[in-house]
Amino acid sequence: MAIVLARTIAELRQQVQAQRTAGKRIGFVPTMGYLHEGHAALIRLAAQECEYVVTSDFVNPTQFAPTEDFERYPRDLQRDLQVAEQAGSHVLFAPSVEEMYPEGFATTVSIRGITEKFEGAFRPTHFDGVVTVVSKLFNIVQPDRAYFGQKDYQQLLVIRQLVRDLNFPIEVVMVPTVREPDGLALSSRNVYLSAEERQKALSLYRALQAGQSVILQGERRRSVIEARMQEVLSAVPELRIDYAAAALAETLEQPEAFSPGARVVLLVAARLPSARLIDNLLVQVPNP
């Protein structure tokens, strides 16, 4: 069956309601479009676990600051339809900004605490935009399961907080980051990178691997782990580092040292002249 393109909330609800009435589990993959293999991995898992898959394709203006790349963010709806269909999505929801934020729209969802560090510190309005649009999408689609990539790890934790706090009856599923053979995390923004910048961007993954290595060798002190990641990133002069951090994976708390057996997330964000990139790695602290 060919994928359905829904441009309005009413169209999408009609499609989904028919499937829900038939007793099908609804899987949901929210995206900002310009789909790549990372998005396809989310859709494929959703299709394995659910009988009906909705993919949203919406570049959300409220999560971009005025100085960010909303206008130039890559868009290609026809390509997105092909990628989504091949991966197993049944409907692509691609609303206009006016459909999602009609005249008079005046509500914002905001989460404190977990949103205030890392990405939130450098993009102060970002997570309000994310949780507002995701709240709307969850209400529109009403899925059983929603699929998010590990690459936006802090965002994943924020969405889980949203689901807990507002009692959405939705299971949030994390899908591991998909990487190029050389380790670069797939991202729609990679299209901005020149060939030379792409090589420099590999330092993000190398920094994460360096942090992982010192943890697996027995290092527990957060300052030492972070310094090792900073060292790798600083070797690329064109790279402007926003953060290179180690935190507890469940809470993003940052103790001075990590306990044996703790699950740690290493997070990096840095800017090249043409793009800002983020990446992360989950590491289990070895027991003695």
Cβ–Cβ under 8 Å, residues 183 and 155: no
Q: Using one digit for the tens of pLDDT, what is the confidence trace for 98-141?
A: 999 999 999 999 999 999 999 999 999 999 999 999 999 999 99
Q: Using one digit for the tens of pLDDT, what is the confidence trace for 128-175?
A: 999 999 999 999 999 999 999 999 999 999 999 999 999 999 999 999
Q: Is the pLDDT of residue 288 over 90?
A: no
Q: What phi-psi label fits residue 218: left (phi over 0), alpha (psi between -120 and 50 degrees) or beta?
A: left
Average pLDDT, the chain: 97
4-175: which CATH number, 1.10.287.130, 3.40.50.300, 3.60.15.10, 3.40.50.620?
A: 3.40.50.620
Domain boundaries, the chain: 4-175, 188-283
- Our answer to whether residue 39 is catalytic in this structure is yes
What percent of the chain stands above pLDDT 90? 99
Active site residue: 36, 39, 90, 126, which one?
39
Nearest to 206 by CA among 265, 273, 281, 263: 281
Q: Is the pLDDT of residue 1 over 80?
A: no
Q: Report the side by side order of strands in the sheet with 91-93.
A: 4-6, 91-93, 52-57, 26-31, 145-149, 171-175
Q: Sort 60 into a burial class: Cβ within 10 Å, 0-12 / 13-18 / 19+.
A: buried
Q: Do domains 4-175 and 188-283 have the same CATH topology?
A: no
Q: Which CATH architecture has domain 188-283?
A: 2-Layer Sandwich (3.30)
**pLDDT confidence bin for 44, thresholds 50/70/90:** very high
